[in-house]
Amino acid sequence: MVESGNKIICIVDTSLLLFGTLIPRDEIEYITSPKIVEEIYKNELKREIIKGYVANNRLIVREAGEKFLKEAINIAREMGELNKLSPADIDILALALEYNRRHKVIVFTDDYSIQNILENLGIEYRPIRRRIKNIIRRWRFRCRKCGEKYRYDIRICPLCGGEVTRQRDK
């Protein structure tokens, strides 16, 4: 872990590893999750590039702390984004939360749900191939049959058994 508060911590999602490059600079530390690496390992060429990044200390692969994983899940649930996130996405958010306590953090991601949560938290992010989405969205869930509204993502309405769909909160 970085001791200096002057380091910029770049949390790396799949999109940067697939479509970008990690530029070595003394003041930048690139960090990703083992789940992101698993996603990339399907691509043989990228697998070798990642092995080189790790071997040359250009990329740190580590798990986020349990406390930060729980915090990321709770925040995503509150914003109505949890059902849109993969376990790897949750890891990226948890790493951003963990490092944001002591360092400047930039998350490289094309995932709109991750961007939405980061925007809400005030954590900087940069897309790789998509434009920046800077509208914070919160979601509500509404039964199509009876119209009952829910704050959290559920699939079936407990009142009438109807399908519950996601809608933008106003």
Instruction: State the pLDDT at residue 63.
Output: 95
pLDDT of 136? 56
To which residue do tokens 């083992």 refer? Answer: 34
> What would the two tokens of residue 117 be?
């949560």
So what's the pLDDT on residue 103? 92
- The pLDDT, as a whole number, for residue 2 is 38
pLDDT score for 4: 46
Pairing of β 28-32 and β 59-61 = parallel
Q: Digits of tens for pLDDT over the chain (170 positions)?
A: 334 457 899 999 988 888 877 887 888 999 999 999 998 887 788 888 889 999 998 999 999 999 999 999 999 998 888 888 999 999 999 999 999 988 999 999 989 899 989 998 999 999 887 665 556 566 778 888 888 887 667 778 888 888 888 776 65
- How many Å apart are CA 49 and CA 97, to the nearest integer? 27
Domains and CATH numbers, the chain: 8-126 (3.40.50.1010), 139-168 (2.20.28)
- For residue 3, the model assigns a pLDDT of 42
Measured at the alpha carbon of residue 123, what is the angle toward residues 97 and 91, in degrees to the nearest 5? 35
